[in-house]
Amino acid sequence: MSLLEVRNLRIEYPSRRGVMAAVKDLSFSIEKGEILGVVGESGAGKSTIGNAIIDLLSPPGRIASGDVYLNGQKISGLTPTEMRKVRGAHIGFIFQDPMTSLNPLFTVERQLVETIEANTELRGAAASERAIELMASVGIPQPEIRIKQYPHQFSGGMRQRVVIAIALAGDPEFIIADEPTTALDVSIQDQILELIKALCKERQVGCMLVTHDMGVVSNVTDRVAVMYRGDLMEIGPTAEVLG
Ligand code: ADP
Ligand code: MG
């Protein structure tokens, strides 16, 4: 069995005008350490897939049928409490805008330590030490100093590095990155993508990388899935699909 398996997933947004199927009969899998790119025009259903996997569909979205498995365990249809545990300890996520994942009122240290303590065995000083290691591993210079600061004291690129550190803090096996560099300066987009790629390979973390940038796809992904209006049109090794 693969790390992540999505089977016959159908996701709907009901409305007064009827039911809109944003994703129809979708099946795919992702292996350990593999980066799957998900591409397709705006509205194709890319974000809906990622949000459904972590049970964070925006209302009134719902999984109408199908299942999601992580490490052979069914994670669709869990209770909110069970799902919160999966999100912290097994699946990390990186969204487009770093501020959706960061709390402006708390230091980076507090946010990292809280995530570490909630999802690992580490506590207190050991958790703080781990937090500094994570800051260093995502390429933030002077991590002991920067960790005491608030999100607004970081540049956009550095802030997204903090988000990546938080996504990794629970030691997840799988990461969802939804257009993680769209809000960043073009000059730093590549660095962030290279970082995500290196971390996934190093830690053997599987990744679903949503993007609309074909350059990103060819440089970073192992396989690509092409979505069109809720349908999976094609999936395969990056070189084959791009060719
Ligand atoms: P993508 O990420 O590929 O741009 P989305 O997954 O955001 O696409 O959206 C897929 C489809 O679902 C679009 O037609 C969009 O309008 C619809 N959709 C997304 N979120 C909602 C929502 N909260 N309510 C109703 N429709 C939605
Ligand atoms: Mg989207």
Atom of ligand 1 nearest to the CA of 49: 6
DSSP 23-73: EEEEEEEE-TT-EEEEE-STTSSHHHHHHHHTT-PPTT-EEEEEEEEETTE
- Look at residue 54 and tell me whether its pLDDT is greater than 90: yes
Mutate-to-test residue for ligand 1 from 48, 56, 182, 211, highest number of ligand atoms within 8 A of CB: 48
- Look at residue 36 and tell me whether its pLDDT is greater than 90: yes
DSSP 146-197: HTTS-GGGS-HHHHHHHHHHHHHHT--SEEEEESTTTTS-HHHHHHHHHHHH
- Does the C-beta of 13 come closer than 6 Å to ligand 1? yes
- Which band of pLDDT confidence, cut at 50, 70 and 90, is reported for residue 213? confident
- Does the C-beta of 228 come closer than 6 Å to ligand 1? no
What whole-number distance in Å separates Cα of residue 12 and Cα of residue 25? Answer: 11
- Does the C-beta of 51 come closer than 6 Å to ligand 1? no
- Which band of pLDDT confidence, cut at 50, 70 and 90, is reported for residue 163? very high
- Does the C-beta of 46 come closer than 6 Å to ligand 1? yes
pTM over 0.85: yes
What share of the chain has pLDDT > 70, as a percent?
100
Query: Whole-number mean pLDDT of the chain?
Result: 96
- Which band of pLDDT confidence, cut at 50, 70 and 90, is reported for residue 97? confident
- Does the C-beta of 42 come closer than 6 Å to ligand 1? yes
